[in-house]
Structures are given as C-alpha cells and as structure tokens.
Structure 1
Amino acid sequence: MFEVEIKVPADVDAVRERLREAGAERVDARRQRDAYYDAPHRDFAETDEALRVRRETPLPSGISPADAADEAEGPDPGSNAPPTAPETTKITYKGPLLDEGSKTRAEHETEVADPEAAAGILSGLGFEPAATVEKRREFWAYDGFTVTLDAVDGLGEFVEIERGVAEEGAIEAVRDDALDALDRLGLDGAEQVRTSYLGLLLAEDDADASDDG
C-alpha cells in the first residue's frame, strides 16, 4: 500500500468552514501521541524511513483548544456524559519518499493490543525512542480523499490530504487529484511541506539549541 499525501500550513478553522460548505463529512477526531524510534542497524534519518508507535484517544467535540482542554479534564463527575472511549495503539513503518511532488511513501500499519509490550519488544531488539510528536486531528471525507486538520504541539496548524493506492503507477494521478482538491479548498499545493512533523520538530530543537549557544 502507498499513501499519497500532501501537507500544507493552514488555518484549520477556515478550512473546516470550507469543508462544511463543500458538503464534506467529519468522520473522526483524535488526540495522537506518536513515539518514534531509532534503529540499531541503520540510520533512519539517512534512509528516510520511520518506525512509530501511535497511542490515540477520541476527541468527540473536535480539536478546538477549549474542547480539547475540557476533554483532557474529563467529564463532570455529576454529569451523565458517556465514558471516554479507550485508547488505541498502532505500530507503523513508513518507507522513503517516492514522489518529488508529494509525501507519498510505502506504509505498513497494524493495531497492537498492549502498547507497553510493543515498547518492550522494540527495546529488546535495540530500537531506542528518538522523539515524540503530539497533535490533535480532525478527519474529514472529501471528494474521495481523507482531509485531516492538524494542531501540532510546538509547530502550529496544518492540513493534510491523502488517499491510499495499491499500485505505484497510480501515484501521479492521485497526487494531481489531491492538488486539485486542495485548490478547491482555497489551499495552495505549492506551499506543501514534505518534511514530517518529526523532522520539523527536530529542526526546531536544533534551531533552539543553536540560539541558546
């Protein structure tokens, strides 16, 4: 499976309104905590690969700061609000970028029942935690694509549009369709960021370290 993806910086509130006007459907919202790992046998920064363990919980009210704060505090003990859905965990491998005009990669992902056991397995094999990315995401279905509205701790707001394809030969056509869909949402694909959130955060950390020095 190949994930054809384009990411651009954006005001997520404005894009949300455009999605609603276009008849798009919000299908989910989640808080995600992504722990990335370094490999003992090769340098993922050089090979452009990634190994990630993602723990996520639902955000029923969406990703606005006020709603996210309320959900972090939990429901009022005296309320009749339903209990928070359980956390889920997935482990994901992402291969190197395959396309110069998008963030397309080969991707393999599966859910794991016990995140602590998964972390123990990786540690036992010599994989070491590298960095953690935390974000709030809304998922929208729009014109055959998944559009995500992202609020990323330490980085700001972004919009991603993506679709999975089974054959590498389909990447270019799907990428062009994604650029057209972004244009209809008032976004400029020429502003896309091909660096991962992990890479952006590590670059921020390096810049901060240089300033401190």
Structure 2
Amino acid sequence: MAIEAELKAVVRDPEGVRKRLDEQHGPGRAEVYRDTYYNTADGSLMDADRELRIRTVHGPDDTRTVLTYKSARVDEASGSKPEAETRVEDADAMHEIVRGLGFTPRIAFEKRCRNYSFERDGRRLLATLVRVPELDDATFIEVETSAATEAELAPALALVRVVLAELGVDEADLIAELYTDAVAAARPA
C-alpha cells in the first residue's frame, strides 16, 4: 500500500496562495467533497488511528465517489499514512455495504476545495486549498504526493515542504490535526 506523503497548514494569506497556485499551475479545479467517516461500533478502528471513508466529489463536470482506507500513521510529525483508494460506481450501495459489514457512520462533513495537480522532480503532486464551513471558514492547504515505501517518505515530504515554502506557507503554520477531530470539536455536544 502506497503512503500518502502529505502536509497540511493553515493559510494566513488565502488569496496570495491561490494567486501563486493559479500562476504556476493554471486555475485549479473547484470541487465540493462530501465525506463520511465510518468506525466500528466499539470505536476501535479510529482508536487505532485508521480511517474508512466514503467521499463523494462534486465537480463542475462530474460527480464521483471514492472509497478510502488509511492505516495508522507511519510518521507522527506529518500524519502520513498508508492509503488504499478506489473509485466506486454507486455511492448509495457502497454506504449500504459498509454499514452491512458492521461499520457505523462516525462523522460526515463538507470540504470546499480547489485542486491543483502537477508534476515536480518526477513526482505527481496535488495541492488543495480547503475550506470547511464548520471551521469558521478558515482556509487550509494540503500538499501531497505518494511514497512507495517508508524509506521514500522523507524525500517525498521534503519536496512537499519545498512546494509549500514556494507558495509562501510558513513551516510554523503546519498542523497535524485531522479534519474529523476539528469538526467534531466544533460541533455542539
């Protein structure tokens, strides 16, 4: 399973970062993600730092659904995790299957994203500007690539750090908090 080498940061100058991304990689793709995270009834899946997610992505030209499983973090500082992902033909059926296997929805929320795909130093990268309405419309940036092995993770993350620095994102603004935790904390008890 490939490792998602990703860093996430709070963006202090959203318009400046978006302008730099547009200049370097074109206008980006505006999409809305509707994410549902599942857990076991006893909470053991997420307690073990693993994730099971069904994401439906609404873009300007299409809607697609993706099933994602993430193992526990292999790098605490970045939160990078091994990830397996596949496109799903029927979102409703996938939700039924996952619930039928005994998983229960833990949390669902929306992310409003602008995605920029590009290549750098022989790697495919994805930079995503993210707003989560429930998080006071703060803007985040995620930059990710893939590492085939744990040994490849450090150089992959080094490249991600270079990209973030070029966009004017300060290392001090990096965060490892999961959106699931932040949204849960923002909701009334």
| Bin for the TM-score computed over the shorter chain | 0.7 to 0.9
Unpaired stretches in structure 1, ≥5 consecutive residues: 60-84
Partner of 1:199: 181
1:141 Cα shift? 3.3
- Conservation of the 8 A alpha-carbon contact between 1:133 and 1:197: no
CA distance in 2, matches of 1:184, 1:142: 14
Q: Distance in 1 between matches of 2:27 and 2:109?
A: 23
Amino acid at match of 2:105: P
CA distance in 2, matches of 1:189, 1:44: 31
2:107 maps to 1:125: no
The answer on 1:162 being equivalent to 2:163 is no
Paired position in structure 2 for 1:13:
15
Q: What amino acid is the match of 2:159?
A: D
Gap change, CA 1:141 and 1:86, over 3 Å in 2: closer
Aligned residue pairs: how many? Answer: 181
TM-score by length of 1: 0.78
Task: For 1:181 and 1:86, locate their aligned partners in 2 and report how far apart those are by CA, in whole Å.
Answer: 28
Query: Does the 8 Å contact 1:143/1:181 carry over to 2?
Result: no
The alignment yields a C-alpha RMSD, in angstroms, of 1.8
Q: Quick check: which one's strand share is greater?
A: 2
Q: Is the 8 A contact 1:101 1:175 kept in 2?
A: no
Aligned to 2:166: 184
| Whole-angstrom distance in 2 between the partners of 1:172 and 1:133 | 31
1: CA distance between counterparts of 2:116 and 2:63?
21
Letter in 2 for 1:158: F
Quick one: percent identity of the two aligned structures? Answer: 31
Structure 2 length as normaliser, TM-score?
A: 0.88
Residues 13-32 of structure 1: pairs in structure 2 closer than 5 A: 13-21=15-23, 23-32=24-33
- Whole-angstrom CA distance in 2 between matches of 1:87 and 1:17: 26
1:112-157, Cα deviation, whole Å (9 max, x unpaired): 1111111111111111111112011111135622110111121121
Decide whether aligned partners of structure 1 residues 164 and 26 sit closer, same or farther in structure 2, where only a CA change above 3 A counts: farther
Larger radius of gyration: 1
SS in structure 2 opposite 1:154?
A: helix
Residue 74 of structure 2 corresponds to residue 110 of structure 1: no
Map Cα deviations across residues 138-184 of structure 1 (whole Å, 9 max, x no partner): 11135622110111121121001110121211101111221122111
Q: Is 1:32–1:57's contact at 8 Å kept on the other side of the alignment?
A: yes
Shift in alpha-carbon separation, 1:162–1:189, aligned structure 2, 3 A = same
Kept after mapping to 1: 8 A contact 2:22/2:28: no
- Give 3-state SS (helix, strand or coil) of 1:90's partner: strand
CA, structure 1 residues 20+86, in 2 after alignment: closer, same or farther (shift >3 Å)? closer
Counterpart of 1:63 in structure 2 is none
The ranges of structure 1 where at least 4 consecutive aligned residues each deviate by more than 3 angstroms after the TM superposition are none
Quickly say closer, same or farther: Cα 1:176–1:86, change in 2 above 3 A.
closer
2:115/2:126 contact within 8 Å kept: yes
